[in-house]
């Protein structure tokens, strides 16, 4: 019987093992075999079927990580999903798998700032050069491609400034020029958008966010197509970037309610967005305005929007932005997002990165809100009282 993904997420235990409702946490460094022949036979099976869950050492994973990878592979509709100790580990693994000294990369200008630091500064020391393209003007992308370009790294929407790009255009250029593609899809997760299906080679999700959903675990996933599988498999082996079983268990548990939570985050964010949109001091960075390019690009590829949004505020009295944020009572102040709770962050310039195209103008401020699962009318009331301080 074919099942919808919502049903599949609730029945993962039945699908993958036959014991408790939740899969057991299998912790291992050493894996004991019945004999040397048994050990060698397992190694041969792993060689023949590298995604079959055959392990001879704990660093390769255990049945707990295998179950998570199987669930995510189904969610992504990909060839395989690698799981890493953090989302940033997956960013690194994607790049490390296909880029070599002497190669060049194209990266979206408003990329997550640690990804920017890695590509702009650190990789330069390894003779890997990055050019940042303007996500609102994909002509710059084509202009920057050289014979050395190996990878186009997209993040959609852009971190903090939330631009949505025409993704199929990027893929068609990359395919024509034989360049690998990777996308950071943490904002939407494959619940709202499946990048591998439209032609990306690699798709990254920080499992720290919506997958786990409870702000108590770090993890990452890197979905791949068949074309790049062997390259990523080798890089995974070389770097040892693999998720541990306890974290895999928590992420698997979080995934049971991914659809329920994301639908609710989306509903709440929509209500908060329509309240904030009425405020003249705020430019809302969220796909909500039907005639905007961002909305059109979002609608073209996504079946829903998550709970993360930005507010661009123009004021000469910067202190009043701090006062507004500090007056919020139901929003926590802190990094990350994707948990059940609402969060607010007044972004500093170092957090928006050293951008070329998407930099803030004088007197512009960015506030990032994560809209959680609380009652949206309470969140709106809280924002309303705090916004009185914005001058």
Q: Which of 64, 206, 225, 294 binds ligand PLP (CB under 6 A)?
A: 206
Instruction: State the distance between the two ends of the chain, measured CA to CA, in whole angstroms.
Output: 59
> How far does Cα 113 stand from its chain's mean position?
13
Q: Quick check: 61 binds ligand PLP (CB under 6 A)? A: no
Number of Cβ within 10 Å of residue 41's Cβ equals 14
CB of 87 to ligand PLP, least distance (A): 2
Give the full edge-to-edge strand order of the sheet including 308-314: 282-285, 308-314, 364-370, 343-346, 332-333
Q: Pick out residues in 98-137 that bind ligand PLP (CB under 6 A).
A: 112
CB of 14 to ligand PLP, least distance (A): 29
Number of Cβ within 10 Å of residue 215's Cβ equals 17
- Taking CB under 6 A as the binding criterion, the range among 80-88, 117-125, 164-172, 271-279 that sits at the site for ligand PLP is 80-88
Taking the alpha carbons of 356, 361, 365, 366 in that order, is the dihedral positive or negative? negative
Q: Quick check: 86 binds ligand PLP (CB under 6 A)? A: yes
Q: Quick check: 212 binds ligand PLP (CB under 6 A)? A: no
Q: What is the DSSP string of 226-281?
A: HHHHHHHHHHHHHHT----HHHHHHHHHHHTTHHHHHHHHHHHHHHHHHHHTT-TT
Under 8 Å between Cβ of 183 and 158:
no
Q: Quick check: 92 binds ligand PLP (CB under 6 A)? A: no
Residue placing its CB nearer to ligand PLP in the complex, 73 or 90: 90
Which residue is nearest to ligand PLP, using beta carbons?
Answer: 87
Number of Cβ within 10 Å of residue 351's Cβ equals 15
- Taking CB under 6 A as the binding criterion, the range among 86-94, 138-146, 281-289, 344-352 that sits at the site for ligand PLP is 86-94
Q: Quick check: 279 binds ligand PLP (CB under 6 A)? A: no
Residue placing its CB nearer to ligand PLP in the complex, 53 or 307: 307
Under 8 Å between Cβ of 318 and 381:
no
Bridge partners for 332 per DSSP? 343
Query: Tokens in use for 49?
Result: 């079927």
CB of 238 to ligand PLP, least distance (A): 20
Could you tell me whether strands 129-133 and 282-285 are parallel, antiparallel, or unpaired per DSSP bridges?
Answer: unpaired
CB of 287 to ligand PLP, least distance (A): 16
Q: Which of 186, 252, 306, 342 binds ligand PLP (CB under 6 A)?
A: 186
- Taking CB under 6 A as the binding criterion, the range among 35-43, 81-89, 272-280, 295-303 that sits at the site for ligand PLP is 81-89
Q: Quick check: 95 binds ligand PLP (CB under 6 A)? A: no
CB of 117 to ligand PLP, least distance (A): 12
Backbone angles phi, psi at 125, to 5 degrees: -65, -20
- Taking CB under 6 A as the binding criterion, the range among 12-20, 83-91, 227-235, 240-248 that sits at the site for ligand PLP is 83-91
Site residues, ligand PLP (CB under 6 A): 86-88, 91, 112, 159, 184, 186, 206, 208, 218, 220, 336
């Amino acid at each position: 019987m074919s099942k919808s993904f919502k049903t599949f997420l609730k029945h993962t235990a039945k699908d993958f093992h036959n014991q408790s409702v939740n899969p057991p946490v299998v912790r291992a460094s050493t894996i004991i075999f019945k004999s040397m022949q048994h050990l060698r036979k397992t190694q041969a099976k792993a060689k023949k079927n590298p995604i079959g869950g055959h392990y001879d050492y704990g660093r390769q994973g255990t049945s707990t990580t295998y179950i998570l990878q199987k669930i995510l592979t189904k969610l992504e509709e990909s060839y395989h999903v690698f799981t890493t100790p953090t989302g940033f580990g997956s960013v690194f693994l994607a790049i490390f798998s296909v880029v070599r000294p002497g190669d060049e990369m194209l990266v979206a200008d408003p990329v997550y700032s640690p990804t920017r630091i890695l590509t702009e500064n650190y990789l330069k020391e390894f003779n890997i050069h990055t050019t940042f393209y303007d996500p609102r003007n994909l002509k710059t992308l084509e202009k920057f491609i050289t014979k050395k370009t190996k990878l186009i790294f997209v993040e959609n929407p852009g971190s903090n400034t939330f631009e949505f790009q025409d993704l199929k255009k990027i893929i068609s250029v990359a395919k024509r020029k034989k360049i690998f593609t990777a996308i950071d899809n943490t904002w939407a997760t494959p619940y709202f958008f499946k990048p591998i299906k439209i032609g990306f080679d690699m798709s990254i999700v920080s499992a720290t966010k919506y997958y786990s959903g409870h702000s108590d675990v770090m993890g990452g996933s890197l979905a791949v197509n068949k074309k790049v599988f062997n390259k990523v498999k080798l890089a995974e082996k070389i770097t040892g970037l693999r998720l541990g079983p306890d974290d895999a268990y928590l992420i698997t548990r979080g995934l049971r309610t991914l659809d329920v939570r994301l639908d609710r985050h989306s509903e709440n964010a929509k209500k908060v967005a329509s309240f904030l949109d009425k405020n003249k001091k705020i430019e809302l960075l969220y796909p909500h305005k039907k005639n905007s390019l961002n909305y059109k690009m979002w609608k073209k590829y996504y079946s829903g929007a998550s709970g993360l949004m930005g507010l661009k505020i123009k004021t000469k009295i910067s202190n009043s932005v701090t006062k507004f944020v500090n007056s919020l009572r139901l929003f926590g102040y802190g990094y990350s997002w994707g948990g059940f709770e609402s969060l607010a962050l007044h972004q500093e310039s170092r957090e928006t990165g050293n951008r070329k195209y998407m930099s803030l103008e004088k007197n512009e401020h960015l506030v990032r809100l994560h809209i959680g699962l609380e009652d949206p009318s309470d969140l709106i009331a809280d924002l309303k009282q705090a916004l009185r301080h914005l001058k």
